Amino acid sequence: MTEEPHILYSVDNGIAHMVMNRPAKLNAITAAMGGEFVRICREVDYRDDIKVLVISGAGDRAFSAGSDVTALDDLGGPWEQRNRAEYDRDYIAPLLKLRKPSIAMIDGYCLGGGWKWP
């Protein structure tokens, strides 16, 4: 069985739509999702036909619960945790530098690192 992508992305009539697609995990953000988010922000910035980025979370319980803390189990010690914190900052930077408007459609919980994405 194939797993659905954790980030859904589409462009329609100048509007880029990005949906965090992990409703069973309250759209908790993985490192792979962070990388995809960076790619999407760069594409939105680059493409002249895109005028705005709209970010939402799948399901009806949460926009995002923040970082997927189960991934933190893989971090061995303080140094790895520091590197993870820097990575979190790095994948938020492209949104902060976005030259186009972004809109967060928050429905439900918006916790931890999830509040940085809007």
In a domain? residue 83: yes
* CA–CA gap between residue 99 and residue 86 (Å, rounded): 23
Residue 1 lies in a domain: no
Q: How far apart are CA 15 and CA 44, in angstroms?
A: 9
Q: Could you tell me if residue 111 is inside a domain?
A: yes
H helix runs in 1-118, sequence order: 31-46, 78-96
Residue by residue, pLDDT tens for the chain (118 residues) are 568 899 999 999 999 999 999 999 999 988 889 889 999 999 999 999 999 999 999 999 999 998 887 876 666 666 666 666 666 667 778 888 899 999 999 999 999 877 766 5
CATH number of residue 98's parent domain: 3.90.226.10
Tell me the Cα Rg of the chain. Answer: 14
Residue 2 lies in a domain: no
pLDDT of residue 58: 98
Domains held by the chain: number = 1
Q: How many angstroms separate the Cα of 21 from the Cα of each of 48, 62, 64?
A: 26, 11, 10
Give the pLDDT confidence score for residue 103 in this predicted structure: 96
- Structure confidence at residue 82 (pLDDT): 63
Q: What is the domain range of residue 81?
A: 7-116
- At 67 the three-state DSSP class reads strand
